[in-house]
Structure 1
């Protein structure tokens, strides 16, 4: 049985923090070194200094984040809300030529171990990323970015109708950050409204869409505190803030999470090529009027072309198996439709193509996930990448089938969009929520 609660958020105080739209940032795991530098320059109060402080300096990045947060609190840049609340959100963004809206709400969700089948994962994690978030939680005693989780609304669409009504009023906060969706937030502390949300969520499974590393870090950190002392039921470390979005929301988008092959030896590259040849049939693809298009535009066109293929085909795209060429790769021996996990293109690529070619301990160094076609193009043009796997989104029905069976996709297989930003509302640990 899922438990959601209002919480006393920490948020930016515009009186001292300036333009708050310049202070939010994406979650830690999609911040490249280049974006991190840009966010540092964007505002001296950008939350990246807490969410993902610079590494490689003489200072411990986690202690530095904690010190920065304390300084901002003392100077009034960050303020603690007086009343426990939930935060209704509406994101507005452009996607494939359309203006879309996605409504949800941020609440504190009680941590549940996976075996309890209340909070459901769908992909594996990387140990060092989980450890990174544990270190930040231990030092800063905060969570700066909400997870993105999905739930099933009831038959009357009680949550959807309630959120729509709330979003008709004047928002408490508005964020218009560069290169991110506009975000409007309504703070709600009315017990009656909150109880409606609690009642619906009580009977719904919670599907983690984005944030497995952060959720597992919360479980691990709670476990470490429990090993040291008794933890009271209402303590905030028993909860994790999440943006809760219904499966019915039209603005719930899934995108492909591509794989870039870089830092690869000649022997490893040749092994990957042979692995592809032995497991896949290849079909060359060429963009329309390629001479007039940048590599980024060609990758985007290729990705769209893959998405238009029949859903029962198990395929992925290749760039660079042969110099400057695109190929569509189709499984030679596709698994039966009953095995949804094996039929996933991400699982097939991981277990049948990459794993036989690359030692397990090298795979994370050689094959890295990226969703940005522009970054992939730059890596190729700069000679830093040798091959890319262009992936289709995991369909929602396949996602549900895998999750409800208790299976796990490889890390970074799903790319739900947009990701809730860090810094709009912050969870600070304490004796209560």
Structure 2
């Protein structure tokens, strides 16, 4: 973990998602790049801007609080999750009390800045993304709801398709509340916004900041895709990488590009300087650690030279383009499994920065939570 990051506090159970009155942009504004710019500086004008949009019919506000079942489809993948106001008012003091599990550290200054932005805007502009495995009653209930007619159905400007059902029935809400009380959720996206929620709650306890907007996805029903984030070690050579592996009792062998890529797995990395390729065997270090942990906590510190910096890439092509003989080594990473990330979080370990990429994420503007509505 980056020495400048810290562990965000843990929210105590039971996990609670509360109904709220959703603000929703009209479909033509959702997924539009201008929507993101609308939440940029000056933040104090954002609330007034949303009021103007509502008068112009560009923004709707629900008449009554609800939990929302949100299904979005992008790139052929459909994800369904519950959207609600996450209770962040209680802090866990014991391991067994934790309800929300981070798996990455946060930069305090960034979390402070996000908290200041939300306080100025008086809203949560988008839900953080949480993942869990739902219990049988909730899973069955949401499947039944999804078979009904949605309250909203549209395709946004980025070609994401959305279906939304408002859940207000007291019996359904009670089933969800009871079922969620016994679950733990992993933060898939939004570690800094989660930390900002906790900062706001600490500043203003007992009010709307006791909650923060969240979407809870059942990984057992409509799983998010967990992709790899590849690395480029700038200022490092393949020779440096071989020296580091030998000093740690690991093995680094020359290989063709095809063989190196084919060998990629939880205990093997593929590395290239753009001209030559090698397979790095991390065994037995990966018996207890994820490959990304071994790279950052063991291999990188053992390098005789560099890295002067580390680049991060969501595609193999981008990683390969950054490699350079003698001066930059690109390392192709395996994607960790959801269960592995969950075990790491439950064991009180944090993965290095940019270790996971949960995809796809919903477009900005589908759900907004105003502090005026609690």
Q: Same fold (TM over 0.5)?
A: yes
Q: Which of 219, 226, 241 is the matching residue for 2:198?
A: 219
Deviation of residue 209 (structure 1)? 1.9
Aligned to 2:368: 426
Contact 1:254 1:417 in 2 (8 A): yes
Q: Which of 308, 319, 324 is the matching residue for 2:275?
A: 324
Secondary structure class of the residue paired with 2:344? helix
Aligned to 1:49: 37
Aligned to 1:253: 225
Secondary structure class of the residue paired with 1:317? strand
Distance 1:132 1:86, change over 3 A: same
Deviation of residue 66 (structure 1)? 5.1
Aligned to 2:251: 281
Deviations 1:239-267 (A, max 9, x none): 12211112312433211122244xx5xxx
Secondary structure class of the residue paired with 2:285? coil
Contact 1:146 1:421 in 2 (8 A): no
Aligned to 1:108: 85
Contact 1:256 1:391 in 2 (8 A): yes
Q: Distance in 2 between matches of 1:200 and 1:334?
A: 39
Secondary structure class of the residue paired with 1:199? helix
Deviations 1:250-303 (A, max 9, x none): 433211122244xx5xxx435x86255322533445456xxxxxxxxxxxx976
Aligned to 1:24: 31
Q: Which of 47, 71, 74 is the matching residue for 1:90?
A: 71
Aligned to 1:81: 62
Aligned to 1:56: none
Contact 2:230 2:332 in 1 (8 A): yes
Contact 2:244 2:304 in 1 (8 A): no
Aligned to 2:16: 3
Q: Distance in 2 between matches of 1:201 and 1:380?
A: 46
Deviation of residue 175 (structure 1)? 4.3
The runs of 5 or more residues in structure 1 that have no matched partner are 15-19, 26-38, 41-45, 54-59, 289-300
| TM-score (structure 1 length as normaliser) | 0.71
Distance 1:64 1:247, change over 3 A: same
Q: Distance in 2 between matches of 1:358 and 1:423?
A: 48
Aligned to 1:32: none
Q: Distance in 1 between matches of 2:304 and 2:123?
A: 38
Q: Distance in 2 between matches of 1:377 and 1:252?
A: 26
Distance 1:380 1:70, change over 3 A: farther
The runs of 5 or more residues in structure 2 that have no matched partner are 1-13
Deviation of residue 89 (structure 1)? 1.7
Q: Is the counterpart of residue 135 in structure 1 residue 101 in structure 2?
A: no
> Which has a greater percent of helix?
1
Secondary structure class of the residue paired with 1:186? strand
Q: Is the counterpart of residue 397 in structure 1 residue 339 in structure 2?
A: yes
Deviation of residue 191 (structure 1)? 2.1
Contact 1:89 1:104 in 2 (8 A): yes
Q: Distance in 1 between matches of 2:123 and 2:251?
A: 49
Q: Is the counterpart of residue 411 in structure 1 residue 353 in structure 2?
A: yes
